[in-house]
Amino acid sequence: MKTLLLTAIVILTSIQLNAQLWSTLNSGTTEMLKSTSFVSNTHGWVAGNSGTILTTSDAGDSWTPQTIGTSSELECIFFYSATHGYVSDISGNIYATTDGGGNWTEVNNLGFAMRSLFFISETQGWGAGQEGRIYYTTDGGANWTLQNSPSGPFLNSIFFSSPTNGCAVGDMGTIYTTTDGGTTWISQTSGTTVTLSSVYFTSASEGHISTFSGAGKFLKTADGGLTWSESIIGISIFFNSIYFTDANNGWSVGDQGFIEVTSDGGTTWSVQHTGTVDLNGLCFPSPSIGYAVGDQGEILRFGNVSALDETQNEFFSIVPNPASDVVSIKSNAAIKEVTITNNLGQIVLYSESNSISIQSLKPGVYFVHVTNVLDEICSQRFIKK
């Protein structure tokens, strides 16, 4: 009895300590939130019912609504960069923005709901959803090509580890893979008939799937999706989204606020958070910072962002800060692109140089988002004098 009691105390203490890693943010809405996308530790978006889109530039401490022009249920939001983003709704409408969500435009109506979007550039991407349909666009969503036969179960998630290697999963244990950018999609045997809710690949060969099975079941492949093995964690929870930051570390969110974490590539999972509100979407812009969204406007943040503005904790620094005329970006790796946003999350400047004139900006607080050639993304706050 003492052993059982001690074990229970250890488990409860572990859950309580881990739960402290996740903090609840004030979203300002009670709408169901289904999807989230971040382009840096601090700059991201969430989307959900009643045409709800919210954006943040301060790691979720504040959220600003964006107008998309519909009250429909938004199924998925995906931002490839700080400027270019896409949203799909339950009616098959696709919306796009090229200014960080300051303006959204309905670019197409496919007539079939796309539950998942994935882009590998600002204009090239895929959508997966109703009747097992997978669509492909090369022009920012203005035109879409149907890539697979529309005869299968609903697809819930699509992911590309490279421009050629992709995987889509859905109801009834459905798995499709491609090695030619979607020109051909091959049906794979999952070994289950439960709903597959989300897929994430850490390389061309290794991938993971969360399931809406109520059995705490995850699937893993080591051969690009040709074969899959099961991992059952023994918790009667439906999991809705899965996300990995590297080959070992991953998270999955589900009903009742459950968040499971793995540090051994999905071999074992442990509880990191529980609650009362179902969680639907998940995004980790870096290994140390993550976001989860759910019902009743729930937004959770993983990690400590209190030091994000400390330049010594980022891979770049801003000199000078505050500044009045020009800012210089000092980085430990070559810079690919720099975007500067205001407090509303709107893009105000863009550059591919490490020296940026800010004379056109009004005095105030702004956020610099830097992507280097290693595809690392970090953000910092600066003040325009």
Domain extents for the chain?
14-302, 311-384
Question: Residue with structure tokens 């050639």?
Answer: 373
Name which CATH class applies to 311-384.
mainly beta
Order across the sheet with 377-384: list the strands.
347-351, 335-341, 364-372, 377-384
Cα four-point dihedral sign 289, 293, 296, 297: positive
Q: Which residue has the higher pLDDT, 316 or 195?
A: 195
Question: Residue with structure tokens 């309580």?
Answer: 16
> Quick one: what percent of the chain has pLDDT higher than 70?
91
Q: How far apart are CA 97 and CA 94, in angstroms?
A: 10
Condensed to tens digits (0 to 9), the pLDDT of residues 201-250 reads: 998 899 999 999 888 899 999 999 999 999 988 888 999 999 998 889 99
Q: How confident is the model at residue 103 (pLDDT cuts 50, 70, 90)?
A: very high
Condensed to tens digits (0 to 9), the pLDDT of residues 140-191 reads: 999 999 998 778 899 999 999 888 999 999 999 999 999 999 999 999 999 9
Residue 323 per-residue DSSP state: B
The closest of 185, 177, 250 to 218, measured between CA atoms, is 250
The closest of 306, 309, 384 to 340, measured between CA atoms, is 384
**Residue 156 exposure: Cα atoms within 13 Å on the Cβ side:** 25
DSSP letters, 262-320, are ESSTTSS-EEEE--SS-EEEEEEEETTEEEEEEGGG-EEEES--TTTT-GGGSSEEEES
Domain 14-302 sits in CATH at 2.130.10.10
Condensed to tens digits (0 to 9), the pLDDT of residues 47-81 reads: 999 999 999 999 999 999 999 999 999 999 999 88
Q: 100: helix, coil or strand?
A: coil
The closest of 206, 216, 278 to 249, measured between CA atoms, is 206
Q: How far apart are CA 299 and CA 1, in angstroms?
A: 39
Using the predicted structure, report yes or no on whether residue 294 has a pLDDT greater than 80. yes
pLDDT computed for residue 314 by the predictor: 56
pLDDT computed for residue 17 by the predictor: 38
